[in-house]
Chains A and B, each alone.
Chain A
């Protein structure tokens, strides 16, 4: 028997008392375990409401939500929530608790023994690159980015299979945000959590998502891979939201390895041509090409050996091709 999808949402609606329109309007979708899904849309589109329906901070007016095959309404509400990591902007940390107590909240609710909690705190501080002596600090004694890391550690503490993240990086500066995004991707690759991530920042969505769910007025407009959103937007709204005409953005989603031409070992010019990794994105490669003044880049594998090359012509062809159905650029 195959494992049921991590999250199944069936015809879920949520209408708040005293409002004419549903905040979430007949939404249905499935999320495969281990995927990082970004919910994207303008403010008031229902993305946060949808997130809060999943951990039952709100209860649906209609429809049902299954986590690993079980209807969330069948389980005690506190059990559902303790199984789901929940991260919001840094204000969500408890200001009166030290870092260690903040991280230990859910394990304590679950009745873990103290030695197990201590070991887990050490492990998480290391995972999130926080010095161990931060244990004894209070949230307000940390920078915004550090607080956000503690927030992620807090959500990961009891090793939940599902994480809900509501604009977690909204209140930090651009540099810190980029670093936290990278960190999140690294953790996601390592731990394979199913993550639902809400943002209104298109770049953040394109950068993080395996799949993006675009929402407007409580409805799902399109649920697809980042590249597909850019190349085949469902309608004008999606097209303008993600600026699908932006070729650089498309190139940012293409992997060098996926578009590189075969390596031509005979060309002398390649000896001192700039090098790019197969794992890099084509946008960065183009930038290098323009900046270096060279007309060809050598693509190297993880072992630093040349495996291919990249030229303006190849990149142009790649753009043309990306207008076609996506070819596994991601």
Chain B
């Protein structure tokens, strides 16, 4: 308890720094998620439609899953230097597998008969994708985005190790000077942000799922 009130005091004394780090943390996380979506949703759709390329794509995604983010962070250093950019790359790589695999799974799970009816009624390919396949895959895709979001927000703290800033700064500083209260100023808000994002996406997921029989 004493640590918490000390942490609160530290936060009050460093408000400007705190909010700046929250801002950077969110910026980093959102940018990584946006990049991962732009790259992985089309790839996932492609994999679901072309069985021949599916296996290699899914294998790469699974391989990425086991590479530690910290390793990617340091591997990117020589090419991208310190700061925001290598952090962004590492977090994007982290966000990719769940988004890619869930996009694939969501599109694969659509009943073939529904897609054939859509074509049979005279929808063009792009219309089938937009009006039928995408909405039907969305709930599963959102599960992937939710997993990726929580992971990215939590892991964005690593960026501080290569001067990428964010809430990880407090963890690093607190660790360096043996002050658990400073570390708490980083960890608690990270946990709160992750939980908020999770709740928000859970709500979206529910809204995107058509209701089942209620009677």
Contact = CB atoms under 8 A, between A and B. Distances in A.
Given A95-B210, A109-B127, A138-B211, A79 B122 contact: yes
A117 interface: no
B118 to A, nearest CB: 7
Contacts of B117: 86, 88, 92-94
Interface string A154-198: 100000000010000000000000000000000000000000000
A241 interface: no
B34 to A, nearest CB: 25
Contacts of A141: 211-215
A17 to B, nearest CB: 15
Interface string B110-151: 010110111111111001000010011000000000000000
B120 A78 contact: no
Contact of B118 (A79, A94, A140): A94
A3 B113 CA distance: 35
Contacts of B213: 140-141
A318 interface: no
Interface in B2-57: none
B132 A140 contact: no
B122 A57 contact: no
Nearest to B120: A86
Best-surrounded residue of A79, A81, A164 (most CB of chain B within 10 A): A81
A153 B113 CA distance: 18
A89 interface: yes
B122 A78 contact: yes
Contacts of B111: 91
A82 interface: yes
A18 to B, nearest CB: 15
A86 B113 contact: no
Contacts of B124: 78
Given A81-B122, A96-B136, A57 B116 contact: yes
Nearest to B123: A109
Contact of A140 (B121, B135, B212): B212
A78 B123 contact: yes
Given A140-B210, A141-B215, A94 B120 contact: no
Interface of A: 52, 55, 57, 78-83, 86, 88-89, 91-96, 105-106, 109, 138, 140-141, 154, 164
Given A57-B120, A138-B211, 9 more contacts: A78-B123, A82-B121, A86-B121, A94-B132, A94-B136, A95-B136, A96-B210, A105-B121, A109-B121
